[in-house]
Amino acid sequence: MIHFYASGRHTYTFSRFVKRWAPQLAEQSTVRAYSQIDLSRAVEPGLHVLTDFERLLGPERRFVQRLHRLLSSRPETHAVLGDVGAWLDRHSLLVELHRRGLNDFRSYRLDEMGPDVTYPVFLRWANEHGASLGEPAADRAELDERVAQHVGRRRHLLRRHLIAVEQVDARSPDGLFRKYSAMRIGDAVVPRHVLFSDQWITKNPDLASEALAREERAFVDTFHDDEPFPHAARVREVFDIAGMDYGRIDYSVLDGRMRVWEINSNPVIGATGLHPTRHASQRRSADAVTEALLALVPPPAPTGAAALHWPRPGRWAWAGVAAASRRYDPHRR
């Protein structure tokens, strides 16, 4: 069995994938919010996929870290992906990639910004997956105005969740922006898609044509090759730096250089409403995702194997955290 976990409003990422792209997993998987975990029951054998770290509150992350340790203690019957204790959040990852020379742009907390910032910068939430908060700011005065617009009277509470990221021109010679995406599932790295747009924010496939579909298919077909670009090797390197064995990376490639935008720990896996020209490449990618997940499911537990239980004191502590999680769930974006 595959057991998938996320915050309360965001379990759809996996359930929609199963419904649309992998119906064979319907009887082989469960999907639940962290706040729905019943610690009075034995932890079921199988592959456990822990996700959505960006959206979790501190007490929830500590619980998920303990859950990871518990599952890791029984590797013969319980496999686990997603170690929040090793994970670098979005800002920390961008800082580390710049420090290593892999990214040529920087990310800042608002109180870290000094005179060496290269403008324009765009503002975004560090713990959400939405787009930039407006157009890039040309200078500090414009940035401060943008911050005031989005946090208002909650400035001191919310500004710590905002980051400013230096904007770089990732436009290809043909004038298009290309966002490459790939997933890591355990040791496997799987090409997902290329999104094409004439806008610098590329959240959706704004453009579609047979020529672009051929380019996307070529990305999927040659992802593990060293030429024309070693996508798989570079993707694996960044996931290792991020401390993540499950998630989706978004990046661009220009002039032989990779620029990493983020890694999402709970990505949408299977898109809906695809342009017909994209179905072939997305079918192949979805099958590779399914194969990678199934390959990690442990064999059935032998008859008489001891059940895996959560320590009793931890159950009582989680009851309070779970109740708070359910109250907070409607506010997660």
Structural domain boundaries in the chain:
2-87+297-331, 106-166, 177-295
Span 190-208, average pLDDT: 83
DSSP string, 302-328: PTTPPPB---HHHHHHHHHHHHHHHHH
Average pLDDT, rounded, for the chain:
89
CA–CA distance, 164 with 125 (Å, rounded to integer) = 9
CA–CA distance, 110 with 147 (Å, rounded to integer) = 9
**Confidence (pLDDT) at 203:** 64
Please say if the pLDDT value at position 153 is more than 60.
Answer: no
Backbone angles phi, psi at 120, to 5 degrees: -75, 160
Q: Is 101 helix (H, G, I), strand (E, B) or coil?
A: coil
Candidate CATH numbers 3.40.50, 3.10.530, 3.90.1570, 3.30.470; the one for domain 177-295: 3.30.470
pLDDT band at 208, cuts 50/70/90? Answer: confident
pLDDT band at 4, cuts 50/70/90? Answer: very high
CA–CA distance, 220 with 230 (Å, rounded to integer) = 12
Q: How far is CA 156 from CA 130, 136, 159, 202, 333, in A?
A: 21, 22, 6, 30, 20
Q: Is 172 helix (H, G, I), strand (E, B) or coil?
A: coil
pTM above 0.85, yes or no: yes
The reply to whether CATH 3.30.1490 applies to domain 106-166 is yes
**Confidence (pLDDT) at 207:** 84
Q: Are strands 246-254 and 177-185 parallel, antiparallel or unpaired?
A: antiparallel
What letter would DSSP give residue 136?
A: P
The closest alpha carbon to 21, from 281, 204, 266, 217, belongs to 281
